[in-house]
Amino acid sequence: MSSASGPAVAISSPEGAGYAPSREPFGLVVIVGSVREGRFGPTVASWFVGRAQRREDLSTDVIDLAAAPDAQPFASRIDAADAFVIVTPEYNHGYPGPLKTAIDSAGSEWQAKPVGFVSYGGLSGGLRAVEQLRVVFAELHAVTVRETVSFHGARARFDERGQPRDRDAVNTAAGAMLDQLAWWARALRQARAVSPYGT
Ligand SMILES: Cc1cc2nc3c(=O)[nH]c(=O)nc-3n(C[C@H](O)[C@H](O)[C@H](O)COP(=O)(O)O)c2cc1C
């Protein structure tokens, strides 16, 4: 799948010099937010990562919060990334506690970078968890994108091979979210390079 965005358009920086966002692939980190025994999260995450890896405008790194700690610290992996997708379930109208712990373990590494969401759950499809995460990421000076992918009654929406039963709808939703993320990732990478983000 290719990006929907067209050719880069030169615009003026405050100093008057023209610049255009780089077309280099941006670094996407996908964070798997559920850690409990018997979790469904990896099925959702595997499908989404497969969709992301079809694109040529990004490279994908996956952080599974249930995995053993990596040699590279969490904050440095966040620092190296240009964009994030959080794969989150909903528990009692909120998002998982370990996900909050992980988010809070980094700080300025999140700043001026876009965040998208793939959510799942029972009736709500994880949308209440996502709305709460938007508030958290605003505090961290990150930019959350509007488009989301959500699965209501998640387990029933995937087949025995771990593929969504209603592929067209969710593939379209994933593409729309990744297109928005790509626009922000390229724009903010360029902006950070021109002028370090100050708080
Ligand atoms: C303790 C608990 C609370 C839950 N609360 C909600 C909820 O408030 N809203 C909802 O839509 N689904 C809720 N669910 C359903 C989960 O979102 C669903 O089981 C999901 O698959 C959990 O993700 P996981 O399997 O990756 O842990 C809850 C599940 C558990 C275990």
Q: Is 12 helix (H, G, I), strand (E, B) or coil?
A: strand
Residue range of the domain that includes 62:
26-194
pLDDT, tens digit only, all 199 positions of the chain: 333 344 444 444 444 455 667 779 999 999 999 999 999 999 999 999 999 999 999 999 999 999 987 778 999 999 999 999 999 999 999 999 999 999 999 999 999 999 999 999 999 999 999 999 999 999 999 999 999 999 999 999 999 999 999 999 999 999 999 999 999 999 999 999 999 998 6
The pLDDT score that the predictor gives to residue 167 is: 96
Does 10 reside within a domain?
no
The pLDDT score that the predictor gives to residue 3 is: 38
Does 13 reside within a domain?
no
Does 100 reside within a domain?
yes
Tell me which of 90, 127, 131 to substitute to probe ligand 1's pocket, judged by most ligand atoms within 8 Å of the beta carbon.
90
Does 115 reside within a domain?
yes
Tell me which of 34, 47, 91 to substitute to probe ligand 1's pocket, judged by most ligand atoms within 8 Å of the beta carbon.
91
CA distance 87 to 48: 9
Does 83 reside within a domain?
yes
Torsion of CA 15, 21, 25, 29, to 10 degrees: 70
Name the closest-CA residue to atom 29, ligand 1. Answer: 91
Does 20 reside within a domain?
no
Name the closest-CA residue to atom 19, ligand 1. Answer: 121
127: domain CATH number is 3.40.50.360
CA distance 74 to 33: 13
Does 99 reside within a domain?
yes
Name the closest-CA residue to atom 18, ligand 1. Answer: 121
**What is the domain count for the chain?**
1
Does 16 reside within a domain?
no
